Amino acid sequence: MAAGELQKSFTGEGLACRRGERRVFRGVAFALGAGEALVLGGPNGSGKTSLLRLMAGLAQPEQGRIAWDGTSIADDPVAHRARLHYIGHQEAVKLALTAEENLGFWAQMRGTAANATAALRRFRLDPRATWPARYLSAGERKRLGLARLLASPAALWLLDEPTTGLDAESIEILLAVIAEHRRDGGCVAVATHAVMPLPAAQAVSLAPHATGRQA
Amino acid sequence: MSAFTALLTRDLRLAFRQGGDVANVVAFFALAVILFPFGVGPDPDLLARISAGVLWVTALLAALLSLERLFEADYHDGSLEALSLMPVPLEIQVLAKCTAHWLTTGLPLTIVAPVLALVLHFDVAGYPALIAALLLGTPVLSLIGAIGAALTLGARRAGVLLSLLVLPLYIPVLIFGVAASEAAALGLESRPHLLLLAALFATSLALAPWAAAAALRQALE
Amino acid sequence: MHRFANPARFMRLSAVLLPWCAAAAAVFVAIGLYGALFVAPPDYQQGEAVKIMYVHVPSAWLASLVYAVMALASAIALIWRHPVAHIAAESAAPIGAGFTFVCLVSGSLWGEPMWGTWWVWDARLTSVLVLFFLYLGFIALANAFDDRTRGSRAAAILAIVGVINLPIIKFSVDWWNTLHQKASVFVMGGPTIATSMLWPLLVMATGFLFFFATLLMLRMRAALLRAKVRALRFGM
C-alpha cells in the first residue's frame, strides 16, 4: 500500500452487490480521506444507491470489504452508525411534528445535544421552526431532511440524490454546507445524476461495473 | 434524554396528535363484545359462562388490528431506515415502540375490559384476576405482534397475512389469560395461570425484540 | 456443510439418493400397512377403525419433524446466507402442511364412526390444527413479496420464531385440554401400546420419513432448475 493510501479513512475494495436475485455490480472500489468528496455516477440501475447503502451498513456486500481506518465496518456496526449521516431518497420527516421537534428527535437518538435552531437557520427554515411539518412545501421538507446533517455532528456524510426537489438557492446552501464539512475534516460521498460542482471530488462511475441488463 | 425515551415520547406524541388510535381500538373492542349477546342470546348464565373467553378473544383481535401502525408509517416515509442507522441497537428501539404501542392499545383495553365485563355478567369476584391477567398478557400481544408487523412490512395484503401469522402465536396467551380470568368464577386458584402469563411475558420480553429487529433489518436491506 | 452449498453438488447427490429413498419409502410403508392391517389386533372397543391410528399418529410425528427440519434449514439459510437452504425450507413446507392435513383428516375419519362427531378437540388434534396454520403462514409469507429473496428471508425468520413457540403452544394446548377435561371424555391418544401394535407404527413412521425425503429432494430439484431458468432468462 502506498503511503498516501494509509491516510484514507474510508475504503472499500472488491465490492459486489446483489439486490433480490439480481447482481447489481462487482469489482467496485473506493478510497475516501478526511476532507475529500466522492461522487458516484452511472446510469439508472447501475447501483449508486446500492453502493451508498453498503457504505452505510444498511446491506452487506456479497463480496468485498468496507473499512473505516482499516477496521471492517461489519465488526462494529454501532460505532460506524455513530460516525455517519445517511440522507436517502425519503426525508424521514414526521408530518405531525414541528420542524424543530423533527430535528431535535434525530439529535436525541444520536445522543447529542440538539443544534436544531442553527441547523434550521442555515437551511433558511427558521421562520418555519414551530410549524408542523405537514404545512411545509415539498422543497422545505427536503431541506428539513438535509438539516439533519447540521443538527448533530458526524464525520462521514452519505447523500443520495440530495439536490432533487431543491431550488437553485438551496443547492448553493447545500454545496456551502458540504464545503464547510470538508474543511472541518469530514468526508462526503454523493450519489447523483445532477451536476454537482464539488471541488476536487473523486468520481466513481458504476457503469463499467454494472452487471444488470441495460434497460 | 436517552434514545429509548426519545423514541417512546415521539411515538406517543404522534399517537396523541394524529388522534383516534386509542379511540379506534377501544371502540372496536366494545362493539365486538356487544355483538355476542346479539349472537348467542341475552341469557345471563350463558353470557357469564363465555364472558372471559369473549373478552380475551375480542381484546386480542382489537390488538391485532392496531399492529399495522407499529412500523408501517415509519417504513413508508423513510423514518425506519433512518432509525436503523442510529447508533442505538435496533432491539432497544423495537422495545420502545412496543411500549408505546402497549400504552395506546393494551392499557386502554385493560381499563375498558372491566366495564364490558359487566355487560357480559362476568363474575365480579374474578375482577382482580382479570385485570392482572390483562396487564400481563397485553404486553405479550404487543411484543409478539411486533414480530408479525415487522415480517409483513411491504408484503402484498399485509393486513390479512399479519393475522394469519400472529393469531396462532397468540394462542398460549389466550389460553392462560382466560384460565386466570375465570378461575375465580370456577372457585379455583388463578395464581398458577398468572405465573404462566408472567413467564410468557418474560420470555417474549427477552426474545421478541430480537426477532422483530432481525425482521426489520431484512425488510430494510 | 459448505460442500452442499453448491447447487450442482446437490443435484448430483440427490440424483443418486432419490431412487433409494423412493424404494425405501415404498417398502417400509408396505410392511407397515401389512403389519397394521393384518398383524396388529383390532381394539376390543373400537374394532378395526383403530387402524386409522397407523396413518394418523405417524402423520402427526412427521408434521412436527418437518417443521423442525424447516426451522433448521431456515437457521442455516439466515446464518450462512445460503440459497439452497432457503429452497430446502420452502420445499419442505407444503409437504409438512400435507402431513398435518392427513393427520387432521384421518383424525376426523377416526372420530366419526367412534363417537359420531367429525371433530374432537383433543390435545393432539388441536395442536396439529395450530401447526397447520403455522405452515400456511410460512407459505403465505414466502410468497407475499414481489422480491422473492425478501420473502424467503422473512419466512425463514418466521420458521425460527415458530419452532420456538411450538413447544409453548403444545404445552398450553395440553393445559387447556386438561382444564376442560370434563367436556371431552373421549381421548384419541389410543390405549397403551402393546409391542404388536408398536412396530407397525414405527415402520409406518419410517416409511413416511423416507417419503418426505423423496418428495423434498424432488421439489428442491425442481426449484433449483426453475431458479436456473430464471437466471438464464433474466441475465442475472
Could you tell me if residue C188 is inside a domain? Answer: no
Distances (CA, A) of A15 to A51, A63, C144, C202: 9, 5, 30, 52
* pLDDT for the residue numbered B129: 94
Domains identified in chain A, total number: 2
Put simply, the answer to whether B175 touches C172 (Cβ < 8 Å) is: yes
Band (pLDDT 50/70/90 cuts) for residue C112 is confident
Domains identified in chain C, total number: 1
Verify that A47 and A2 share a domain, yes or no: yes
**Domain extent for C147:** 54-176+193-235
Could you tell me if residue A204 is inside a domain? Answer: yes
Put simply, the answer to whether C148 touches A212 (Cβ < 8 Å) is: no
Chains in contact with B, where contact means 3 or more Cβ–Cβ distances below 8 Å, are A, C
DSSP assignment string, C145-184: -SSHHHHHHHHHHHHHHHHHHHHHHHHHHHHHHHHTTTT-
Could you tell me if residue C45 is inside a domain? Answer: no
Put simply, the answer to whether A94 touches B14 (Cβ < 8 Å) is: yes
Contact C131, C61 (CB under 8 A): no
- Mean pLDDT for chain C? 86
- Say yes or no to pLDDT of A214 above 90: no
CB count in 10 Å sphere of residue B158: 17
pLDDT (mean) for A8-30? 84
**pLDDT, tens only, B155-207:** 999 999 999 999 999 999 999 999 999 988 788 888 999 999 999 999 999 99
Could you tell me if residue C46 is inside a domain? Answer: no
Verify that A2 and A79 share a domain, yes or no: yes
- Say yes or no to pLDDT of A139 above 80: yes
* pLDDT for the residue numbered A5: 47
Q: Final residue of a domain: which of A135, A153, A171?
A: A153
Closest partner CB to B168 (pick from C133, C151, C179): C133
Q: Best-predicted range by mean pLDDT among B143-157, B179-193, C39-53, C218-232?
A: B143-157
Q: Final residue of a domain: which of A131, A153, A175?
A: A153
Could you tell me if residue A89 is inside a domain? Answer: no
Closest partner CB to C149 (pick from A21, A23, A212): A21
- Top residue of B85, B88, B93, B216 to mutate, by most chain A CBs within 10 Å, is B85
**Residue B43 three-state SS:** coil
Verify that A77 and A103 share a domain, yes or no: no
Could you tell me if residue C105 is inside a domain? Answer: yes
Could you tell me if residue A88 is inside a domain? Answer: no
DSSP assignment string, chain A: --GGGGG-SEEEEEEEEEETTEEEEEEEEEEE-TT-EEEEE-STTSSHHHHHHHHHTSS--SEEEEEETTEEGGG-HHHHHHTEEEE-SS----TTSBHHHHHHHHHHHTTS---HHHHHHHTT-GGGTTSBGGGS-HHHHHHHHHHHHHHS--SEEEEESTTTT--HHHHHHHHHHHHHHHHTT-EEEEE-SS----TT-EEEE-GGGB-SPP-
Could you tell me if residue C37 is inside a domain? Answer: no
Verify that A8 and A45 share a domain, yes or no: yes
Put simply, the answer to whether C150 touches B167 (Cβ < 8 Å) is: no
Chains in contact with A, where contact means 3 or more Cβ–Cβ distances below 8 Å, are B, C
Least confident residue range of B20-29, B132-141, B194-203, C66-75? B20-29
**Domain extent for A16:** 1-83+154-215
C235 touches chain A (CB under 8 A): yes
Least confident residue range of A63-67, A171-175, A202-206, B32-36? A202-206
B187 touches chain A (CB under 8 A): no
- Neighboring chain C residues of A21 at a CB cutoff of 8 Å: 148-149, 227, 230-231, 236
Could you tell me if residue C169 is inside a domain? Answer: yes
Verify that A10 and A102 share a domain, yes or no: no
- Say yes or no to pLDDT of A203 above 50: yes
* pLDDT for the residue numbered B194: 94
Verify that A128 and A169 share a domain, yes or no: no
Pairing between β-strand A187-191 and β-strand A156-160 as defined by DSSP bridges? parallel
* pLDDT for the residue numbered C185: 43
- Top residue of A105, A106, A149, A158 to mutate, by most chain B CBs within 10 Å, is A105
Verify that A79 and A158 share a domain, yes or no: yes
* pLDDT for the residue numbered A94: 94
Query: Which three three-digit cell numbers place residue B39?
Result: 349472537
Query: pTM of the full predicted structure?
Result: 0.90
Q: Final residue of a domain: which of A133, A153, A173?
A: A153
Q: Which residues of C touch B (CB under 8 A)?
A: 78, 130, 133-134, 136-137, 140-141, 144-146, 150-151, 153-154, 157-158, 160-162, 164-165, 168-169, 171-173, 175-176, 179
* pLDDT for the residue numbered C136: 96
* pLDDT for the residue numbered A196: 82
**pLDDT, tens only, B93-148:** 999 999 999 999 999 999 999 999 999 999 888 999 999 999 999 999 999 999 99
Query: Which three three-digit cell numbers place residue A64?
Result: 468485498
- Mean pLDDT for chain B? 94
| CA-based nearest distance A90→chain C, Å | 21
Could you tell me if residue C25 is inside a domain? Answer: no
Could you tell me if residue C135 is inside a domain? Answer: yes
Check: complex ipTM more than 0.85: yes
pLDDT (mean) for B51-66? 95
| CA-based nearest distance A35→chain C, Å | 36
First vs last Cα of chain C: how many Å apart?
A: 26
- Top residue of A21, A63, A213, A214 to mutate, by most chain C CBs within 10 Å, is A21
Could you tell me if residue A197 is inside a domain? Answer: yes
- Say yes or no to pLDDT of A183 above 90: yes
Report which secondary-structure segment, H or E, holds B51.
Answer: helix B44-65
